[in-house]
Structure 1
Amino acid sequence: MILNTDGSKPIYKQISEWLETEILSGNIRTDEKVYSQYQLAEMFNINPATAAKGLNLLADENIVYKKRGLGMFVSENAAKIILAKRKGQTLQRLVEELVRESRQLGVSEEEIVEMIRLENRKCKGEEK
């Protein structure tokens, strides 16, 4: 992974999202130790405090848990938490964009709902 340092997203959030992806892909499993702040700092050439902030973000969300003196480990429900969080964030952003754009175009709520239903049927293979 290459960090985006242009300022659009804080580095600590990029670190936490990278770790989430590692968990979702199965590269780091339940109850397995995650990288330490020092390992992350070395891997990405960042300040250890920045890496720690990314790890603490995951701990605050119960994606990882701390074992005193041993480090951080992947929680049992980590994948479920990550999936729910990502679905919520992504879908919410898309809905906000859809509503904003439809207002600018003068598209009614009913038209949007019908468009969604039609697309859903297409995806299910009911219509071509």
Structure 2
Amino acid sequence: MKNLLDDNRPIFLQIKEQLEDSIIDGSIKPGERVPSTNEFAAFYNINPATAAKGINELVAEEILLKKRGVGMFVTEKAKEILVEKRKKTFYENYMLPLISEAKKLEISADELLEMIKRGNEE
């Protein structure tokens, strides 16, 4: 867990994203227990309901599974779900605007691909 939270964004979203990032990068594995809402609350000195909001969103998205009296655990398909969700967001937030600007500048698809390849090599 990161020690600092950004004051400019909702805390529950930051907790949710930290868990997502940890699942995607493999530092939290499928079947592994994640910190409880009370553990998050104590660590960040926040209200447990705030932490619960982020965690409950992950439960609703089938990223986490509640085991009553035991804790929250990463589902087997969590990483797959998160990667697909992030790819969709990446496409919408980065690729569509990139393609739109390329069209304005009359950059062909081949030129655009070449630029991406060149950027990837640098």
Say yes or no: TM over 0.5: yes
Q: CA RMSD in A?
A: 2.2
The CA deviation string for residues 57-107 of structure 1, in whole angstroms up to 9 with x for no partner, is: 11111111111221210000111111111121122101243255457xx32
- Specify every segment of 5 or more residues in structure 1 that has no aligned partner in the other structure, as ranges: none
Instruction: Indicate whether 1:116 and 2:118 are aligned.
Output: no
> What is the total number of aligned residue pairs between the two structures?
119
**For the residues of structure 1 that align with 2:108 and 2:50, how far apart are their CA atoms?**
42
**Residue matched to 1:69:** 69
Displacement of 1:47: 1.2
Closer, same or farther: CA 102–26 of 1 in aligned 2, 3 Å = closer
Instruction: Indicate whether 1:26 and 2:26 are aligned.
Output: yes
SS of structure 1 residue aligned to 2:34: coil
SS of structure 1 residue aligned to 2:66: strand
**For the residues of structure 2 that align with 1:12 and 1:95, how far apart are their CA atoms?**
27
- Specify every segment of 5 or more residues in structure 2 that has no aligned partner in the other structure, as ranges: none
Matches within 5 A, 1:1-128: 1=2, 2-6=4-8, 9-99=9-99, 101-102=101-102, 106-108=104-106, 111-122=107-118
**What is the percentage of aligned positions where both structures have the same residue?**
38
TM-score scaled by length of structure 1? 0.79
The higher-RCO structure (CA 8 Å, 6+ apart) is 2
Closer, same or farther: CA 124–55 of 1 in aligned 2, 3 Å = closer
Displacement of 1:16: 0.6
